[in-house]
Structure 1
Amino acid sequence: MLGLRSCYCLGHNPLSRNLDLRFSPPLSVSFKSFSLNSFFSSSPNPKTKPKPQSKRKPTMSSPPSAFDALMSKARAAAKKKPQSQSESQSQSSSPKKRKTQTQTPDLAPPKKSTISQTPDSKIEPLDALPAKKPKKVDVEECIGQLRKKAADFNPKTAAYWEDKPVPFLFLVRAFDMISKETGRIVITDIVCNMLRTVMHATPDNLVAVVYLSANRIAPAHEGLELGIGDASIIKALAEACGRKEEQIKSQYKALGDLGLVAKACRSSQSLMRKPDPLTVAKVFNTFGLIAKESGKDSQEKKKNHIKTLLVAATDCEPQYLIRLLQTKLRIGLAEQTLLTALGQAAVYNDKELTQPPPHIQSPLEEAANIVKQSYSVLPVYDKIVPALLSGGVWNLPKTCSFMPGVPVGPMLAKPTKGVSEIIDKFQDMEFTCEYKYDGERAQIHYKEDGSVEIYSRNAERNTGKYPDVVVAVSRLKKSSVSSFVLDCELVAYDRQKGKILPFQVLSTRARKNVVMSEIKVDVCIFAFDILYRNGQPLLQEQLKIRREHLYESFEEEPGFFQFATAIISNDLEEIQKFLEVAVDTSCEGLIIKTLNRDATYEPSKRSHNWLKLKKDYMENIGDSLDLVPIAAFHGRGKRAGLLTEITLSEEQMFPCMQLILPTCLVLVNQVQP
Structure 2
Amino acid sequence: MSKRAQPSPSRSQPKRQKFASDQSSLNTFFGSSPRLTSLANSRAEKGAPAQKQQNAKKNATPDIIDLTSDSEPSTSRDCGDNNGLSAALAAPEAGGVGGSGVAPLTSNTPSRRVLMKNEVATLPNYQPLGVDPFVFNIHESPWPANEPAPYSFLVHALATLSGTRSRIIILNTLTNTLRTLLSWHPSSLLPSLYLLSNCLSPPYSPVELGIGSSVISKAIRHISGLTSSALRRLYNSLGDPGDVAFEAKTNIRTLLPHPPLFIADVYECLLNIANSKGQGAAKQKQAIVEKLLVAAKGEESRYLARTLSLNLRVGAVRTSILTALARASVLTPQTSLGGPEHNHSPHHATTQSIALVQPIAAEGKKVPDPAREELREKFTQAEALVKKVFVQHPNYEHIVAGLFNGGLDSLELRVPLTVGIPLHPTLGSPTRSLDEIYDHFGDTPFVAEFKYDGQRAQIHGLRGVSNGNPSVHIFSRHLEDMTTKYPDIVHLVKCIFKDQPQLQSFIIDSEIVAIDPSDGGLKSFQELSNRARKDVEMNDIKVCVCVYAFDLMFLDGEVLLAQPFRERRSLLRSRFPPFLPSDKGASRLDHVESCESEAGKDAIEEFWQKAIESRSEGLMIKLLSSGAMQEDGTQKGKRKTLSATYEPDKRTYAWLKLKKDYVVGLGDTLDMVPIGAWHGNGRKAGWWSPVLLAVRDPRNDCYVAVCKCMSGFSDTFYKEMVAHYSEGSDNCSRQPLWETNTGGFRPDVYFRPHEVWEMRGADITLSPVSVAALGLSSSSRGLSLRFPRFIKTREDKSPEQASTTNFLAQIWQDQQGRPKATAGEADDGDLVDVELDSEGAAGESDG
The question of a shared fold, defined as TM-score above 0.5 by the shorter chain, is answered with yes
Q: Go from structure 1 to structure 2 and tell me whether the alpha carbon gap of 1:604 and 1:643 turns closer, same or farther (over 3 Å shift).
A: closer
Question: For the residues of structure 1 that align with 2:571 and 2:145, how far apart are their CA atoms?
Answer: 54
Q: Match for residue 407 of structure 2?
A: 392
Deviates more, 1:551-560 or 1:530-539: 551-560
Deviates more, 1:169-178 or 1:265-274: 265-274
The reply to whether residue 530 of structure 1 matches residue 552 of structure 2 is yes
Which residue, 494, 517, 520 being the options, matches 2:539?
A: 517
Aligned AA (1:357): P
Question: For the residues of structure 2 that align with 1:286 and 1:351, how far apart are their CA atoms?
Answer: 32
Q: Go from structure 1 to structure 2 and tell me whether the alpha carbon gap of 1:664 and 1:542 turns closer, same or farther (over 3 Å shift).
A: farther
The 5 Å alignment of 1:311-390 reads: 311-350=294-333, 354-357=343-346, 362-390=377-405
1:351 Cα deviation (Å)? 5.8
Identical-residue share of aligned pairs (%): 33
8 Å contact kept, 1:634–1:643 = no
1:140 Cα deviation (Å)? 5.6
Q: Match for residue 588 of structure 1?
A: 617
Q: Go from structure 1 to structure 2 and tell me whether the alpha carbon gap of 1:234 and 1:645 turns closer, same or farther (over 3 Å shift).
A: farther
- Per chain length, whose mean CA-contact separation is higher, i.e. which structure has more relative contact order (CA < 8 Å, sep 6+)? 2
Aligned AA (1:560): R
Question: For the residues of structure 2 that align with 1:647 and 1:501, how far apart are their CA atoms?
Answer: 32
Q: Match for residue 599 of structure 1?
A: 644
Aligned AA (1:355): H
1:293 Cα deviation (Å)? 1.2
**What is the SS of the residue equivalent to 1:274?**
coil
Q: Go from structure 1 to structure 2 and tell me whether the alpha carbon gap of 1:167 and 1:372 turns closer, same or farther (over 3 Å shift).
A: same
Q: Match for residue 130 of structure 2?
A: 147
Q: Match for residue 569 of structure 1?
A: 597
1:255 Cα deviation (Å)? 2.0
Deviates more, 1:510-519 or 1:367-376: 510-519
1:202 Cα deviation (Å)? 0.5
What per-residue deviation string (whole Å, max 9, x for no partner) do you get for residues 548-577 of structure 1?
A: 221232231467211111221064443232
The 5 Å alignment of 1:196-595 reads: 196-350=179-333, 354-357=343-346, 362-449=377-464, 450-477=470-497, 478-557=500-579, 560-569=588-597, 571-595=600-624
8 Å contact kept, 1:412–1:605 = yes
Q: Match for residue 672 of structure 1?
A: 746
1:648 Cα deviation (Å)? 6.5
Aligned AA (1:459): L
Q: Match for residue 659 of structure 2?
A: 614
What per-residue deviation string (whole Å, max 9, x for no partner) do you get for residues 48-67 of structure 1?
A: xxxxxxxxxxxxxxxxxxxx
Q: Go from structure 1 to structure 2 and tell me whether the alpha carbon gap of 1:567 and 1:455 turns closer, same or farther (over 3 Å shift).
A: same
1:404 Cα deviation (Å)? 0.7
What per-residue deviation string (whole Å, max 9, x for no partner) do you get for residues 270-322 of structure 1?
A: 11122111000110001111111111121221111111101100111111112
Aligned AA (2:420): G
Aligned AA (2:202): P
Q: Go from structure 1 to structure 2 and tell me whether the alpha carbon gap of 1:482 and 1:298 turns closer, same or farther (over 3 Å shift).
A: same
How big is the alpha-carbon RMSD for the aligned residues of Structure 1 and Structure 2? 3.1
Q: Match for residue 752 of structure 2?
A: none
Question: For the residues of structure 1 that align with 2:510 and 2:261, how far apart are their CA atoms?
Answer: 45
8 Å contact kept, 2:692–2:707 = no
8 Å contact kept, 1:544–1:596 = yes
Q: Go from structure 1 to structure 2 and tell me whether the alpha carbon gap of 1:643 and 1:437 turns closer, same or farther (over 3 Å shift).
A: closer
1:422 Cα deviation (Å)? 1.2
5+ long unaligned stretches in structure 1: 1-137
What per-residue deviation string (whole Å, max 9, x for no partner) do you get for residues 74-128 of structure 1?
A: xxxxxxxxxxxxxxxxxxxxxxxxxxxxxxxxxxxxxxxxxxxxxxxxxxxxxxx
What per-residue deviation string (whole Å, max 9, x for no partner) do you get for residues 582-612 of structure 1?
A: 2322111111112222122111221122111
**What is the SS of the residue equivalent to 2:508?**
strand
Deviates more, 1:159-168 or 1:570-579: 570-579
Q: Go from structure 1 to structure 2 and tell me whether the alpha carbon gap of 1:643 and 1:150 turns closer, same or farther (over 3 Å shift).
A: closer
8 Å contact kept, 2:334–2:406 = no
Deviates more, 1:499-508 or 1:239-248: 239-248
**What is the SS of the residue equivalent to 1:529?**
strand
1:408 Cα deviation (Å)? 0.7
Question: For the residues of structure 2 that align with 1:275 and 1:404, how far apart are their CA atoms?
Answer: 46
Question: For the residues of structure 1 that align with 2:242 and 2:502, how far apart are their CA atoms?
Answer: 56
8 Å contact kept, 1:142–1:158 = no
Aligned AA (2:614): T
Aligned AA (1:434): E
Q: Go from structure 1 to structure 2 and tell me whether the alpha carbon gap of 1:439 and 1:140 turns closer, same or farther (over 3 Å shift).
A: same
5+ long unaligned stretches in structure 2: 1-121, 348-373, 465-469, 581-586, 627-642, 679-686, 694-699, 726-730, 732-737, 748-847
8 Å contact kept, 1:442–1:454 = yes
Q: Go from structure 1 to structure 2 and tell me whether the alpha carbon gap of 1:340 and 1:606 turns closer, same or farther (over 3 Å shift).
A: same
Q: Match for residue 162 of structure 1?
A: 145
Deviates more, 1:371-380 or 1:568-577: 568-577
1:657 Cα deviation (Å)? 7.0
Q: Go from structure 1 to structure 2 and tell me whether the alpha carbon gap of 1:660 and 1:207 turns closer, same or farther (over 3 Å shift).
A: closer
Question: For the residues of structure 1 that align with 2:479 and 2:649, how far apart are their CA atoms?
Answer: 11
**What is the SS of the residue equivalent to 1:394?**
coil
Q: Go from structure 1 to structure 2 and tell me whether the alpha carbon gap of 1:658 and 1:569 turns closer, same or farther (over 3 Å shift).
A: closer
Deviates more, 1:531-540 or 1:407-416: 531-540
1:672 Cα deviation (Å)? 0.8
Question: For the residues of structure 2 that align with 1:207 and 1:412, how far apart are their CA atoms?
Answer: 29
Question: For the residues of structure 2 that align with 1:658 and 1:421, how far apart are their CA atoms?
Answer: 39
8 Å contact kept, 2:688–2:722 = no
8 Å contact kept, 2:662–2:669 = no
8 Å contact kept, 1:210–1:381 = yes
1:329 Cα deviation (Å)? 1.6
> Aligned pairs, how many?
528
Question: For the residues of structure 1 that align with 2:288 and 2:153, how far apart are their CA atoms?
Answer: 21
8 Å contact kept, 1:414–1:606 = yes
**TM-score using structure 2 length:** 0.59
8 Å contact kept, 2:688–2:718 = no
Structure with more of its chain in helix, by fraction = 1
1:363 Cα deviation (Å)? 0.6
Question: For the residues of structure 2 that align with 1:560 and 1:657, how far apart are their CA atoms?
Answer: 35
Aligned AA (1:619): V
Q: Go from structure 1 to structure 2 and tell me whether the alpha carbon gap of 1:368 and 1:660 turns closer, same or farther (over 3 Å shift).
A: closer
8 Å contact kept, 2:273–2:285 = yes
Which residue, 597, 608, 631 being the options, matches 2:688?
A: 631
Q: Match for residue 54 of structure 1?
A: none
8 Å contact kept, 1:492–1:502 = yes
**TM-score using structure 1 length:** 0.73
8 Å contact kept, 1:143–1:174 = no
**What is the SS of the residue equivalent to 1:520?**
coil
Q: Match for residue 180 of structure 1?
A: 163
Question: For the residues of structure 2 that align with 1:578 and 1:663, how far apart are their CA atoms?
Answer: 43
8 Å contact kept, 1:434–1:590 = yes
